[in-house]
Amino acid sequence: MLNLGCGGRYRADWVNVNFPSTGPGVIAANLIEGIPFPDASFDVVYHSHLLEHIPKPLAWGFLKECHRVLKPGGIIRVVVPDLEAMTRSYLEALEKARAGKKGWDYNYDWMMLEMYDQVVRDQSGGEMARYLLGASIPNEEYVIGRCGTEVRNMIVAGRRSRSGAPVATQSTVSGVRKLFDVIPVHSFIKQIYGMFRKSGGWKEKLVQQLLGSEYEVLQAGRFRRGGEIHKWMYDSYSLGRLLLTCGFKSVAVRSATESCISHWSSQNLDTEPDGSVYKPDSLFMEALA
């Protein structure tokens, strides 16, 4: 069983892949460049909140790769933020905020963050992190109800850091950035940068000097290529259609606990050990190769 873009959610009895590696045994591979396994290697391919980080024109090729590494009849399970549910919640929040219903102005603000912040941000965590790490979250229950464990952990981390207790956080931001794909720069500078980026900090400082005010553009480009940004969003219609065009069959929407994968709930990937849903804002879909 293969878990792609596992982040911190890797399991010992799965083959786990992330870019960069996030833990012991997690294979580092940039999945945009292909899935580094032979044809028909796996019974299950699973990815959660990865597909939306892949640029739309590359999503088809990535899912074709998932199909290639699955055995015939193997199961793909794709989990993404549910665009349809999100937009319905946005509309609900908009209508209730407009009608002046108590507390819904905050819910409206949260829905705007949920829809746009991860698309537009230039810095890790963006406005969403600022909101969740803030001293007061007036609609905490709503926010946790929508987004689950990760958001709860951030709120707890914020509280702990304000109280002076040590905080364990895990960054999901990935590594390799190709600056010069992002901004046009003279090839001489390109060569110097190529030499310097292989080693440490003083060389980075030199790049900073060379680029001057353009350095900010480099930093933004590095970040936006790093894997944290949402590059596209899916609903059950568009994801189902995409899976079909990649050769999958028996496409179906599932819940967090429902699956054709045997003993799914005990894997604790889409659920927590207490039975709660890990990312309640998700669309869960499965299909067969």
Contacts with ligand SAM, residue ranges (CB under 6 A): 5-7, 9, 18-19, 30-32, 48-50, 53, 172, 174, 227
Distance in Å, CB of 115 to ligand SAM, minimum: 16
3-state secondary structure of 50: coil
Query: Which residue, 8 or 73, has its beta carbon nearer to ligand SAM?
Result: 8
Distance in Å, CB of 238 to ligand SAM, minimum: 19
234 pairs with which residues across the strands? 82
Distance in Å, CB of 226 to ligand SAM, minimum: 8
Distance in Å, CB of 30 to ligand SAM, minimum: 5
Q: Are 245 and 287 in contact (CB under 8 A)?
A: no
Query: Which residue, 42 or 106, has its beta carbon nearer to ligand SAM?
Result: 42
Residue 263: count other Cβ atoms within 10 Å of its Cβ: 7
Q: CA-CA distance, 51 to 231, in Å (whole number)?
A: 9
Query: Which residue, 53 or 77, has its beta carbon nearer to ligand SAM?
Result: 53
Q: CA-CA distance, 48 to 131, in Å (whole number)?
A: 24
Distance in Å, CB of 104 to ligand SAM, minimum: 27
Q: CA-CA distance, 184 to 177, in Å (whole number)?
A: 14
Distance in Å, CB of 2 to ligand SAM, minimum: 12
Distance in Å, CB of 78 to ligand SAM, minimum: 11
Q: Are 281 and 85 in contact (CB under 8 A)?
A: yes
Query: Which residue, 69 or 93, has its beta carbon nearer to ligand SAM?
Result: 69
Query: Which residue, 31 or 239, has its beta carbon nearer to ligand SAM?
Result: 31
Q: Comparing C-alpha atoms, which of 24, 26, 25 is closest to residue 6?
A: 26
Query: Which residue, 108 or 259, has its beta carbon nearer to ligand SAM?
Result: 259
Q: CA-CA distance, 209 to 202, in Å (whole number)?
A: 11
C-alpha pair distances (Å), 96 with each of 101, 112, 137, 242? 5, 14, 19, 34
Q: Name 4's Cβ contacts closer than 8 Å, sequence gap at least 6.
A: 17, 18, 31, 35, 45, 46, 47, 50, 66
Distance in Å, CB of 26 to ligand SAM, minimum: 9
Residue closest to ligand SAM, measured at CB: 7
Q: Name 170's Cβ contacts closer than 8 Å, sequence gap at least 6.
A: 7, 8, 22
Phi, psi of 86 (to 5 degrees): -65, -45
Q: Are 248 and 289 in contact (CB under 8 A)?
A: yes
